[in-house]
Amino acid sequence: MAGCGLTWPLAPHPVRVALALLSLVLVELQSSMAGQGAAPAVGALQDDDDDSDPSRQIIFTTVVQARRLEESEQSSLTQQVAAPTQIASSATMAVQIGDRTWHVPMHVPMEAFLYTSGPPEIVRYNFKLVRRLKKEDLVRRQAYLPGGRHSAADVLVLTPLGELRLPTSPALNVWQWEMACSGTSAHGKEPPNCQRACGGIGCCLEGCRHEKAAHHSCTVRVVVTASLDDVAHHRWHVAIKGHHVPPGTAALPPPLNHLSLGPTNLAR
């Protein structure tokens, strides 16, 4: 897509279009009733005591239902991702150490932080791994899942060499994951309104030639690191870089059922 620029968040919602059409119907209905002396103002429809006309009641009920539908369909950062009990019970174990940085215990708490209990900038969006750094001579990764399959609940342990280096180089970074927001919704649905690298909101600016470039759809990165000291304390360091939308723009993340890593992926 191209040409939507900064106006994408203001694009008409389908339910708003329906409400506009219903307003036109109301105007037509009032016009037809004018000759019978029964043409109340549109704004007075709800307060009118005359309930004798069933057509007016049907239209009013439809308007109310449409408004409720609009409110329920809006995806917002306040919606919570459900999780299995084991993961939900670990939701409060992360410790915020900076504006957008946390210490998160390894194992299940890390999985809970990334997928259910962490900041909405992480849990309400889809991410892809874009960079990984590891010093396997100093740390060893132990899989949490049966069969040695890796997940966010894996833990790191120091190797004998790592234990020797710990006293002299505790801040040495020995593991790093960098994940980029994909700026997409699962199942090919309408994407979130992430700001693209070209400046477009939800889609590229007119004339952009990088629409299909890797990691062009959003500038947000989640960087997960571990130093020797972090590994000794069984924790990850998590930082968020960038913003999904510019200041003053309401974030519209993917709906909960359009997340690539939803609750069903967390069940054990």
Of the pLDDT bands very low, low, confident and very high (cuts 50, 70, 90), residue 15 is very low
Higher-confidence position of 151 and 91: 151
pLDDT at 157: 96
Q: Is the pTM of this model over 0.75?
A: no
Higher-confidence position of 212 and 23: 212
Q: What is the CA radius of gyration of the chain?
A: 26
| Partners of 158 in the β-ladder | 139
The answer on pLDDT for 36 being more than 70 is: no
Domain chopping of the chain, boundaries: 5-73, 85-266
Q: Tens digit of pLDDT for each residue in 67-121?
A: 444 444 455 655 655 555 555 555 568 899 999 999 999 998 998 899 888 899 9
Burial of 91 (0-12, 13-18, 19+ CB in 10 A): middle
CA distance 170 to 183: 36
Mean pLDDT of all residues in the chain?
Answer: 74
pLDDT at 54: 45
In a 3-state reduction of DSSP, which class is residue 175?
strand
Higher-confidence position of 78 and 191: 191
What does the DSSP 8-state code read for residue 237? E
Helix (H) or strand (E) holding 8, with range, is none
One DSSP character per residue, 105-127 reads: ESSHHHHHIIIIIS-HHHHTS-E
Under 8 Å between Cβ of 224 and 155: no
Of the pLDDT bands very low, low, confident and very high (cuts 50, 70, 90), residue 210 is confident
Which are the contacts of 109, defined by CB distance < 8 A and separation ≥ 6? 90, 91, 93, 94
